[in-house]
Each structure stands twice: as C-alpha cells, then as structure tokens.
C-alpha cells in the first residue's frame, strides 16, 4: 500500500438517522485503526485471489496466493487473452527460480514487509494527522465493507499541529478526503483522498509528489471475518531525488478470494497457482472492478 499510498468529500445525509453516532469521529477513527493494526499483525488467515490491473498499456490478470514465505503470483492473461504457451512457461519458470534461490525469496519477503510497514505507518498516523467530521453514510456491498453493515463517512482535513515522525508520513500533510468505516466491524472500508498541494520529502532533496494526485483503497469482508483489499486506484506523479520522474497511474481490483492453508509454503503456493492456471487456461473470467458508490 506506500503502495497505500485520499477525493474531496461530498456532503452526505443521515437518511433515517437524525444524528451522527454517539462516539466522536476522532474516537471512531482511533478504534478502527486499532482493529486494522491488530488484523495486519494476524497472519493465520491466507487467501488465493485474482487481480485485474488496468494501466495506459492495457490490462493484466494475475493469480496470487499468500504464503508464509512471500506472496506467490502468476500472470495469466493480457488484455483478457490467455498467455501463449511460451509466456505461461516463463511465469512457471520464474516461480521455480524463486523456489530454488532462497536468498532471492528472502529479499522478496523483505521488500513485501517493508511495503507493509510503510502502509501501517500511514494507517497508524490517521488519528493524529487529520481532523475528522461525520459526513453521512453509504451502503456496503460485496466489494465494500461487510454486506448488511452501515458504513459511516468521515471527512478529513490536515491537522496543522501534526508533526510527521518520518518522511513516509509527510504525504499526509498535503491530503484531504474521506474515510468509510464499517460501524459494526470497526474496519476501514475505504480511504479516498487528494493531494491539495505539492508534498516534498527531505526538504525537497529526496523528492516530491505533485498537487492533484489521488488515491483510493477499498476493503471488504471476504468471508470468515477476514478483510482484504478489493480495489486500489492510484493517480500519483512527482519526482524522486529531484531528477527522476515517478508516475503511478493504475486501477486494480481484487476478487475471487479463496481460503488456503495457514501454514502454506511458497512451494505449496506455487503448486496451487500452477494447478489453478492449468484449470483456467482457456476460461479466464476477467474480474469486474467494483462499481463506484454514491453516498446517500
């Protein structure tokens, strides 16, 4: 997720409810963040799932499976078309290469942990980096929150007294947007925000992100009380070390979550992927991105 790496809010209404919830908006965010951190530290539930990623170059469909060693993944379609036998073999060869190179697998695992740590830094900072106010409700669905639960919308704006502890959290000083929180589960259903100004890192020496950037990350209960990311949209541009341009522009949706053994090794995950790839080689359903929700 810096890969988590929030759209200006639209005023909402409370429908049948005359007043916002009794808990303060700030306290609700703190309770929710505590649940998110606890869930991130619980790794006993693992899934296999599909991803559909769209960029300016087209779409790619991947299969992924969470394992104890690292995330195992295979590209299975490009622009909705199955891979050629040569492309499919290259994907399997890459998995085999990782299995036969423990150092590379450890490096992959370390990179993923660094990404998770950056994401958690952002999440942990949410109660302190912003001021919140209630702004209505939305309906949950298959890809957003838990079906049947009420989602509360909170508008957020920067807290001027917040001092980021590291450059990772600096991006929050230039953001405003909204959160959706599942009231029953106390989980983040969506975080959606805009960069309303340029954000510099390391006094501009390390780089900056451009004003107008946008990101959206969405979660849902995918079964057994387990929550996973179902949608991620990025529109981020800027520069690193002054001269190197960065551009993260993509739409990605995640679906078809299936539980796998909690003690799954990377080799076991690779076997599951290859079996699934062989089964669906000629019948690849492209996951449909979740529909945008309209606040009520």
Give the separation between CA 143 and CA 227, rounded to whole angstroms. 10
- Please give the pLDDT value at position 283: 53
Place of tokens 């057994």: 224
Band of residue 3 on the pLDDT scale cut at 50, 70, 90? very low
For 145, phi then psi, to 5°, come to 70, -150
Band of residue 289 on the pLDDT scale cut at 50, 70, 90? low
Render pLDDT for 194-231 as a digit per residue (tens, 0 to 9).
Answer: 999 887 765 455 677 888 889 899 999 998 789 999 99
Cβ atoms 21, 134 nearer than 8 A: yes
* Non-local CB neighbours of 156 within 8 Å, separated by 6+ positions: 6, 126, 130, 131, 132, 175, 176, 177, 178, 179, 193
Give the separation between CA 239 and CA 145, rounded to whole angstroms. 34
Tokens representing residue 114 in the block: 């660094």
Give the separation between CA 49 and CA 46, rounded to whole angstroms. 10
- How close are the terminal C-alpha atoms of the chain, in Å? 28
Domain spans, the chain: 30-279
Q: What is the residue-averaged pLDDT of the chain?
A: 85
* Non-local CB neighbours of 113 within 8 Å, separated by 6+ positions: none
Mean pLDDT, rounded, for 59-88: 95
Cβ atoms 73, 62 nearer than 8 A: yes
Q: Model pTM?
A: 0.82
Angle, helices 266-279 vs 85-99, to 10°: value is: 170
Mean pLDDT, rounded, for 159-170: 90
Judge whether residue 247 has pLDDT over 80. no
Side-chain half-sphere exposure of 260, counting CA atoms within 13 A: 25
């Amino acid at each position: 997720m810096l890969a988590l790496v929030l759209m200006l809010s639209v005023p909402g209404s409370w429908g049948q409810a005359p007043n916002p919830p009794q808990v303060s908006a700030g306290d609700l965010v703190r309770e929710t963040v505590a649940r998110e951190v606890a869930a991130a530290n619980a790794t006993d539930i693992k899934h296999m799932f599909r991803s559909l990623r769209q960029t300016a170059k087209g779409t790619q469909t991947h299969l992924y499976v969470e394992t104890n060693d690292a995330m195992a993944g295979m590209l299975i379609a490009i622009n909705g078309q199955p891979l050629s036998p040569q492309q499919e073999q290259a994907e399997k060869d890459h998995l085999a290469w990782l299995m036969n190179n423990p150092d590379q697998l450890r490096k992959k695992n370390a990179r993923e942990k660094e990404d998770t740590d950056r994401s958690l830094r952002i999440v942990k900072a949410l109660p302190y980096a912003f001021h919140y106010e209630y702004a209505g409700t939305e309906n949950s669905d298959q890809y957003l929150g838990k079906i049947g639960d009420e989602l509360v919308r909170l508008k957020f704006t920067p807290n001027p007294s917040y001092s980021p502890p590291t450059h990772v959290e600096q991006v929050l000083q230039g953001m405003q947007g909204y959160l959706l929180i599942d009231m029953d589960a106390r989980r983040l259903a969506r975080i959606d925000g805009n960069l309303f100004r340029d954000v510099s890192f390391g006094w501009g020496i390390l780089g900056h992100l451009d004003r107008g950037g946008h990101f959206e990350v969405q979660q849902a209960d995918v079964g057994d009380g387990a929550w996973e990311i179902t949608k991620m949209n990025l529109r981020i541009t800027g520069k690193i070390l002054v001269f190197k341009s960065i551009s993260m522009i993509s739409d990605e949706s995640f679906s078809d979550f299936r539980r796998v053994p909690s003690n799954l090794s990377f080799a076991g995950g690779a076997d599951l992927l290859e079996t699934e790839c062989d089964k669906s080689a000629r019948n690849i359903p492209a996951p449909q991105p979740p529909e945008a929700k309209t606040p009520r």
